[in-house]
């Protein structure tokens, strides 16, 4: 019987996002494909260091060990490498004990045509064109920033933090703020407080995470292995629509922070997420020095 990826949280991640391949990327950019190929073959047994998405992938795969009777998470390597130059990637996966067996190796071509084929719930990459193509095709995707100054330490919980507008929710309200200002935005949100916000690119991922949390809920309703946070620039009176929207979706965010324009980095440093997703480059750049961060582009 063929293995089905249905009803699983499927994460596609590029090799550069999983491992630190910046030296190799520089060789490719400045010396060309032949030099890159030779470097990878010569260093085939040299283990790569973890990259920006490593901690999140390792934490998510750990969920499978908590439910040995059925898998919850699959991770697929989505790489522009050819099979010839990919053995170093697989040797590094084996070295770190990552339970990853599936890969799409496209030999320099675009990855975007293959994202839907693997039924991805989330795609992480350092190639902006692949991330943009994923968002355009309806797949939750983020462009990862560099490894934080103080990389994530091992935690007993998986922690994931999200911005609200243009990430969990659509960019409808964000556009009003950008085009008409804060007063028009707040008036719009007050007038529509009882109308759920439209879904954003990461809404379905949040629903999937909520489904996973239900696998681990104890009698008191807590889901210990997985914890989520909403860290949004919104504040009162724009908070009410957010709360009512999540209620309408039947989703409970574990921690919610209405920052009202205050920088998010300190709160993120306290929450310690394995990944933070935001749509604004300025927010992402500031947060990326503290926690692993992915920028969610606007659908084009």
Residues 197, 206 contacting (CB under 8 angstroms) = no
130 catalytic? Reply is no
d(CA 219, CA 227) in angstroms, rounded, equals 17
Measured CA to CA in angstroms, residue 215 lies from 10, 56, 62, 98 at distances of: 17, 19, 14, 22
d(CA 292, CA 151) in angstroms, rounded, equals 8
Burial of 67 (0-12, 13-18, 19+ CB in 10 A): middle
Give the DSSP H or E segment for 77.
strand 73-79
Strands 9-13 and 293-295: unpaired
Q: Exactly one of 130, 163, 171, 278 is catalytic; name it.
A: 163
Which residues, 6 or more positions from 77, have their beta carbon under 8 angstroms from its beta carbon? 12, 13, 14, 15, 18, 89, 93, 100, 102, 103, 104, 105
Instruction: Report which of 163, 162, 241, 232 is spatially closest to residue 197, judged by C-alpha positions.
Output: 241
DSSP 116: G
d(CA 169, CA 138) in angstroms, rounded, equals 14
Which residues, 6 or more positions from 187, have their beta carbon under 8 angstroms from its beta carbon? none
Name the 3-class secondary structure at 199.
Answer: strand
Q: Where in the sequence numbering do the catalytic residues fall?
A: 163
């Amino acid at each position: 019987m063929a293995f089905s990826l249905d009803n699983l949280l499927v994460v596609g991640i590029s090799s550069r996002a999983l491992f630190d391949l910046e030296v190799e990327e520089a060789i490719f950019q400045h010396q060309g494909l032949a030099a890159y190929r030779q470097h990878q073959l010569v260093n085939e047994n040299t283990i790569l260091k973890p990259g920006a998405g490593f901690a999140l992938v390792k934490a998510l795969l750990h969920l499978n060990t908590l439910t040995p009777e059925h898998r919850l998470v699959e991770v697929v390597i989505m790489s522009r490498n050819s099979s010839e130059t990919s053995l170093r990637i697989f040797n590094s996966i084996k070295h770190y004990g990552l339970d990853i067996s599936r890969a799409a190796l496209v030999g320099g071509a675009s990855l975007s045509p293959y994202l839907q084929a693997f039924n991805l719930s989330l795609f992480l990459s350092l190639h902006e064109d692949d991330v943009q193509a994923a968002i355009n095709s309806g797949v939750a995707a983020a462009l990862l920033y560099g490894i934080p100054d103080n990389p994530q330490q091992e935690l007993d919980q998986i922690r994931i933090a999200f911005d609200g507008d243009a990430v969990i929710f659509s960019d409808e309200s964000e556009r009003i703020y950008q085009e008409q200002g804060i007063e028009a935005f707040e008036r719009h949100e007050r007038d529509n407080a009882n109308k759920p916000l439209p879904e954003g690119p990461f809404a379905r991922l949040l629903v999937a995470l909520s489904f996973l949390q239900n696998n681990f809920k104890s009698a008191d309703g807590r889901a210990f292995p997985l914890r989520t946070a909403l860290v949004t620039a919104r504040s009162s009176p724009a908070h009410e629509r957010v709360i009512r929207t999540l209620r309408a979706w039947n989703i409970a965010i574990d921690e919610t922070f209405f920052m009202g324009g205050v920088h998010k980095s300190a709160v993120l440093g306290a929450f310690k997420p394995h990944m933070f997703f935001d749509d604004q480059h300025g927010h992402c750049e500031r947060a990326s020095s503290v926690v692993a961060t992915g920028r969610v582009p606007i659908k084009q």
